[in-house]
Amino acid sequence: MRLITAPITALILSTSLLFLAGCTNSAPKGYGGVAEHQYSEMPDHPVGLENALYFELQMTRRHLESLILSGAKICFPASVRLSQIREARIARELQGGLDGDAANDLIIQRDQLERLQRRLNYIQQQESCLPHRAKPLEDKAENTEQALSANKIKEIMLLLNNNNQFVTDSAELNPRYIGQLAEVCILLRPYTQYHLKLTGHTDTKGTDSYNLKLSMQRAAQVERYLQIFGLDPNNIEIDGSGSLAPLFVGNEAQTRLVNRRVSIELITVNPASGVMTQ
């Protein structure tokens, strides 16, 4: 009896150890220890609500890139460095399946970037950290002499006015549309002669006063992301028309959906005369 019990006990112990080994939360090889300071590109993931953490990482990454372009790396090098390290850690946590840790770090990252944005805005208003801007301003001055090609303008308009619909009674943007706004900002940032006019719209449900307020909120939400991605607030104008300018007339669900939108016009300003043309 003793000879049979010992092998069975050893087998149970071995099985338990194997089971526990499969429950460890370690990151993949090459993403721990000194890899804290190695920045590698994340694999491509489709944008959507099903992978909100990956999408949020992309948004914070673009926000940080925008701050660096605005001079944060020169004015606050330590804060930028810490944000870059935290970004790399979040990427490793997502790759290692540590979604809870990644979510917590994303909350911290978003908060730190917003604080960095406010600090940068303040010191630039005080003109206490401006030397780095001389060269970019020269580049922008050169670009105002140039114009975007017709094909590039067509591409920008398609990005601005596609996937721009809203859920009923909501001013929250479609995640895919936020990504498109980021692409537009990369294309437009060097060309300061281009301004954007944003007009929010609603469907016919609700009172006129409520719809006007909601349409303004939708336009303001688009403006917020354009500023996060680096466009000059002075180059953005917002308005709301409630339900007065629908794309299509009708009360079907599909019609109401396409009418809940923000329409965007690209306007060219002549730097010399100040004349605006669409």
Q: Any idea what the CATH number is for the domain that residue 177 is in?
A: 3.30.1330.60
Q: Where are the alpha helices (DSSP H) in the chain?
A: 2-21, 52-69, 72-75, 77-95, 99-125, 134-143, 150-160, 175-188, 208-228, 253-259
- Report helix, strand or coil for 172: coil
Residue 26 within a domain: no
Question: Do both 254 and 168 map to the same domain?
Answer: yes
Residue 1 within a domain: no
Contacts of residue 163, defined as CB under 8 A and 6 or more positions apart, other chains included, come to 174, 176, 177, 180
Question: Do both 152 and 221 map to the same domain?
Answer: yes
Per-residue pLDDT of the chain (278 residues; tens, 9 = 90+): 444 455 555 545 455 544 544 454 555 554 444 444 444 444 444 444 346 778 788 888 888 888 888 778 888 888 888 889 999 998 888 888 888 888 888 888 888 888 888 888 777 777 666 544 434 444 444 444 578 888 899 999 999 988 788 888 999 988 888 888 888 888 888 888 899 999 999 999 999 999 999 999 999 999 988 888 878 889 999 999 999 999 898 889 888 999 999 999 999 876 554 445 55
Quote the CA–CA distance of 131 and 213 in Å, as a whole number.
41
**Model pTM score:** 0.54
- At 235, give phi and psi (nearest 5°): -100, 10
Domain of 76, in residue numbers: 49-129
Other C-beta atoms within 10 Å of 141: how many?
11
Q: Which of 89, 112, 129 is the endpoint of a domain?
A: 129
Residue 9 within a domain: no
Q: Which of 129, 150, 182 is the endpoint of a domain?
A: 129
Question: Do both 253 and 273 map to the same domain?
Answer: yes
Q: Which of 72, 97, 129 is the endpoint of a domain?
A: 129
Q: Is the distance from CB of 268 to CB of 278 less than 8 angstroms?
A: yes
Question: Do both 117 and 199 map to the same domain?
Answer: no
Question: Do both 115 and 167 map to the same domain?
Answer: no
DSSP 261: B
Dig out the tokens for 220 from the structure: 């303001």
Question: Do both 196 and 221 map to the same domain?
Answer: yes
Residue 17 within a domain: no
